[in-house]
Structure 1
Amino acid sequence: MPGILFVCTGNTCRSSMAEGLGKKLAQERGLQVEILSAGVAAWPGAPATWEAIQAAAELGVDLKDHQARSVAPELVEKADLILTMEERHKDILLTRFPQIRGKIFTLKEYATGQPGDIRDPIGEPLEIYRSCALELKELIGQALEKFKQGWGQGEGRESKEF
Structure 2
Amino acid sequence: MGQAILQAKADAAGLKIYVNSCGVQALTGKRPDKQALGALERAGYSIGEEKRAEQLLMPQANAAQLMLVMENRHKQWIMQNFPAYSGKVWLMGHWNGLSEVADPIGQGPAEFDACLKVLEGEIDLWLPKLRALL
Structure 1 and Structure 2 fold alike (TM over 0.5): yes
Q: 1:121 matched to which residue of 2?
A: 104
Find out whether 1:142 has 2:125 as its counterpart: yes
Give the CA deviation at 1:98: 0.6
Cα distance in 2 for residues equivalent to 1:47 and 1:62: 13
Find out whether 1:74 has 2:59 as its counterpart: yes
The answer to whether the 8 Å contact 2:78/2:86 transfers is no
Give the CA deviation at 1:21: 0.5
Bigger relative CO (Cα 8 Å, ≥ 6 apart): 1
Give the CA deviation at 1:115: 4.7
Identity of aligned residues (%): 26
Q: Larger deviation: 140-149 or 74-83?
A: 140-149
The answer to whether the 8 Å contact 1:53/1:64 transfers is no
Q: 1:14 matched to which residue of 2?
A: none
Once the two structures are superposed, residues 73-97 of structure 1 have per-residue CA deviations (whole angstroms, 9 ceiling, x without a partner) of: 0111111111111111111100111
Find out whether 1:38 has 2:22 as its counterpart: yes
| 1:101 equivalent among 75, 78, 86 | 86
The answer to whether the 8 Å contact 2:79/2:86 transfers is yes
Give the CA deviation at 1:54: 0.8
Cα distance in 1 for residues equivalent to 2:38 and 2:114: 12
| Structure 2 unaligned residues grouped into runs of 5+ | none
Cα distance in 1 for residues equivalent to 2:100 and 2:9: 21
Cα distance in 1 for residues equivalent to 2:114 and 2:26: 23
| Structure 1 unaligned residues grouped into runs of 5+ | 1-16, 153-162
- Secondary structure in 2 matching 1:105: strand
Give the TM-score normalised by the residue count of structure 1: 0.78
The answer to whether the 8 Å contact 2:91/2:100 transfers is yes
User: Segments of 4+ in structure 1 off by > 6 A?
Assistant: none
Give the CA deviation at 1:63: 3.0
Q: How many residues align?
A: 133
- Decide which structure has greater strand share: 1
Give the CA deviation at 1:64: 5.2
Cα distance in 1 for residues equivalent to 2:122 and 2:78: 21
The one-letter code of the counterpart of 2:19 is I
| 1:87 equivalent among 48, 58, 72 | 72
The answer to whether the 8 Å contact 2:67/2:89 transfers is yes
Q: Larger deviation: 115-124 or 40-49?
A: 115-124
